[in-house]
Structures are given as structure tokens and as C-alpha cells.
Amino acid sequence: MWSAKRCGRMPRAHTGVAATELAICLPLVAMLILASIEACGMVYLNHSLAIASYEGVRAAINYDSTNSDVTNKVNQMVTARNVVGSQTQLSPSDVAAVARGTPITITVTAPCNSNALVPPWFFGGKTLSASTTMVKE
């Protein structure tokens, strides 16, 4: 007499259970994986903006810096990290006219939609930004 246990086969009554578990769990696992990919992409985007704002303000605090030096440095950083649609804001607006000892803030922003690895889901329609402040030399 043969037994299902002996042959390594599932009994007929349990074959539908595995298909049902797969039908329930597979979409949840796929959603979890896509959400993780999107979250990692937004962490990368936020880090890229922080690097760009830091490098921009480092260029801005030099005694002979101009606005074009700052925007060129920021654009160089965001281009190297494949950030799309970034915008740079300088405060004060003319870094060449700022006196020594005055704080300068550079803010770099970018939309999440155009920088997402997967179609925007959690971060759809949002904008990330990073600011760095240093004192003019």
C-alpha cells in the first residue's frame, strides 16, 4: 500500500492550499519589494541633494565666488548623481556682495516623480530638498 507521505507527494486535499497561499502572499511580497525600491531611491535622492547643497555652499563661501560658480558646482553634482529637475536657491541672492562672516544658505530641491526608480507611489507629487548653511570666508 502506498502512502502520499512515502512518495513525497502532497495529498489531493492539500494542493489547493498552496495555490491560495501563493495568490494571497505574492502580491503582498511584490508590493513590499517595490515599496523598498522606491524608499531606497528617495534616500539616494535626498543624499544627492544634501551633497549638492554642501558642495554649492563650499563654493559660495570663498571670498571671490560668484553665483555662477555656485550654480555650476551644484549642477555638476546633481548631473553626476543623475538627479532630474533640480532647482537651486541661494540666500542671500548675490553671494559676491556678501560681507565676510555672513551666513550663506544653499537649498537644492528636486521632484520625486521624475527621480523615482519605479512609478511614484508613496512619494508621488512630493518634492525633496536639502539645505546647507556656512559662513562666508
Domain parsing of the chain, residue ranges: 14-135
Q: How far is CA 32 from the centre of its chain?
A: 17
Burial class (CB in 10 A: 0-12, 13-18, 19+), 56: buried
Contact 54, 73 (CB under 8 A): no
In a structure prediction context, what are the per-residue pLDDT tens digits for the chain, which is 137 residues long? 455 555 566 666 666 787 888 889 999 999 999 889 899 999 999 999 999 999 999 999 998 999 999 999 999 999 999 999 999 999 999 999 999 999 999 999 999 999 988 877 788 889 999 999 999 98
Contact 48, 83 (CB under 8 A): yes
* Residues found in the chain: 137
Rounded CA separation 111/125 (Å): 7
Among 50, 54, 57, residue whose Cα is nearest residue 102 = 57
